[in-house]
Amino acid sequence: MSEEGDYRGRRWFLRTLAQGLGIFAASGGANALLPPKPGRKLEKSAVAYRDSPNFGQVCAECRYWLGDKRCERVKGEISPSGWCMVFVKETP
C-alpha cells in the first residue's frame, strides 16, 4: 500500500473512532451500562426501551419489573409487554 493509502486509512480509522465515541457519549456512555445509583433511573432512550417484546422477553418477566407499569431501573410508564437492553430474566 502507498504512503497516501496508509494516510487515508489512518484518517478513516480515526474519524470512525471519533464518531463512534461521540455516539457512545451521546447515548449516555458507560452510565447506560452501569447499575444506576439508588433512586436514579435510566432514560428509556439510553436502554433502547420499546413497547414490544424482544424474542419472547418481556418486562413482566424481568427482575426489575415492579408492576403497575413501573420499572425499578427505567423512568416513565413501562408496558408489561415491553423490553429494554437491561432485561434480566426473573428467576423463581
Positions that interact with ligand SF4 (CB under 6 A): 49, 59, 62, 64-65, 71, 73-74, 78, 82-84, 86-87
Nearer to ligand SF4, 20 or 73 (CB): 73
* Beta carbon nearer to ligand SF4, 4 or 68: 68
CB of 87 to ligand SF4, least distance (A): 4
CA distance 82 to 59: 5
For the chain, the straight-line distance linking the first and the last C-alpha, in angstroms and rounded, comes to 59
Cell (9 digits) for 64: 426489575
Please tell me what DSSP assigns to residue 46: G
In whole angstroms, the minimum distance from the beta carbon of 86 to ligand SF4 comes to 4
Residue nearer to ligand SF4 on the CB measure, 32 or 62: 62
Distance CA 46, CA 86 (A): 10
